[in-house]
Amino acid sequence: MSEVVRLYQYKTLLSSGKVVGKAALLNALEISDATFKRDIAKLRDQLHVPIRFNRDLGGYQMEQLHTDTELPGVWFSADEMLALLTIEQMLTQLEPGLLGPKLKPLQQRLADMLAKQGISQGQLAQRIRLLQAGKRRVTLKNFEAVASATMGRKRIAVAHYNRQNGEQVQRTVSPQQLVYYRDNWYLDAWCHLRQALRSFAVDAIATCDVLGEAAHEVDAEQLHRAMRSSYGIFGGAPKAWAKLRFTPERARWVSRELWHPAQRSETEADGSYVLQVPYSDERELVGDILRFGAEVEVVEPADLRGRVKRALHEAAGRYV
């Protein structure tokens, strides 16, 4: 039984203000006397759970006034607390001022808990460095409107700039989920103009107004199939599988990377690494393939191989 599960069990055993003897608790939780003492100390001192020993009845009980109160929903080891505070630090650096005020209560609680482990919050800022590349600026007002509508299940009217054709289109969408991908925010939403699911770059939203009308709900499984079954940020059912062969040298890196949850891979006799991923739109995939230059070959399908080949020829032509 994990510590988290065990600590929750104390509330169950001591519910309704009943008194439970130490021997009964040790037996029910299958723990030693030393573990029991540590648990009681943690519940009282760190988690502020009002457990007391009733000398008259010879057992432990939770004070009656608190028996209907939920116990704290999170208990962390030092490593877990450090991980969560690290995430908070990352969020603060990712969007300064965007989430800071809303995270203050959690930040303070985690800082207090870490202090008991001898770890100061200042150490994180000094020792954790977050580098970003390709991050695009998001208008705070628009991001807050998108986030509010997503959580509040409201439709939004947006003016969205399509970088592919340079056009800006007015449309009403029903937000389904926000996605943080490669240092940028995207919104998966039901587009009422196209009557289909679409993914919108939040930084490309010029204006955003939250409407009073309830959002159109898309089934979670349908959303997953439409937006997450293919490679990268582009949605849609996979139209093909890309088969890529990386050189033995590059395989040392790529073999440890997750390109897609359903990817297939194998290492050949000479050390080459063969990776297969499903895709519905090749634009992002082609860009990622080109990053590796001569260290990767598109084995199949033929049309993807041809597209990458043409792109390489055009790139080489600029250096003639």
Out of 26-30, 122-126, 189-193, the most confident range is 189-193
CA dist 264 and 258 (Å) reads 10
CA dist 59 and 21 (Å) reads 4
Strands 184-191 and 240-246: unpaired
What CATH architecture applies to the domain 3-66?
Orthogonal Bundle (1.10)
For range 124-151, the mean pLDDT? 82
Residue 85: pLDDT band with limits 50, 70, 90: low
pLDDT at 264 over 70: yes
User: What does the DSSP 8-state code read for residue 20?
Assistant: B
Q: What is residue 66's predicted lDDT score, i.e. its pLDDT?
A: 47
For range 95-113, the mean pLDDT? 65
Q: What is residue 157's predicted lDDT score, i.e. its pLDDT?
A: 98
The phi and psi torsions of 184 (rounded to 5 degrees) equal -140, 155
Spell out the residues 6+ positions from residue 311 whose beta carbon is closer than 8 angstroms to its own.
286, 290
For range 272-283, the mean pLDDT? 97
Q: Strand, helix or coil at 158?
A: strand
Least confident interval from 10-19, 26-35, 95-104: 95-104
- Considering the chain, what is the average pLDDT of its residues? 86
Q: What is residue 236's predicted lDDT score, i.e. its pLDDT?
A: 83
Q: What is residue 67's predicted lDDT score, i.e. its pLDDT?
A: 44
Q: What is residue 5's predicted lDDT score, i.e. its pLDDT?
A: 72
Q: What is residue 114's predicted lDDT score, i.e. its pLDDT?
A: 64
CA dist 246 and 267 (Å) reads 10
pLDDT at 259 over 80: yes
Q: Is 121 within 8 Å of 109 (Cβ atoms)?
A: no
User: What does the DSSP 8-state code read for residue 56?
Assistant: T
Q: What is residue 201's predicted lDDT score, i.e. its pLDDT?
A: 95
pLDDT at 7 over 70: yes
pLDDT at 112 over 90: no
Quote the Cα angle for 72-88-105, to 5°.
Answer: 45
pLDDT at 94 over 60: no
Residue 304: pLDDT band with limits 50, 70, 90: very high
Residue 117: pLDDT band with limits 50, 70, 90: low
pLDDT digits (tens, 9 = 90+) for 208-224: 999 999 999 999 999 99
For range 51-63, the mean pLDDT? 88
pLDDT at 303 over 50: yes
Out of 3-12, 31-40, 109-118, 256-265, the most confident range is 256-265
Q: Which CATH class is domain 140-228?
A: mainly beta
Measured from the Cβ of residue 140, the count of other Cβ atoms closer than 10 Å reads 11
For range 25-43, the mean pLDDT? 90
pLDDT digits (tens, 9 = 90+) for 166-193: 999 999 999 999 998 998 999 999 999 9
Of the two residues 88 and 298, the one the predictor is more confident about is 298
CA dist 161 and 252 (Å) reads 39
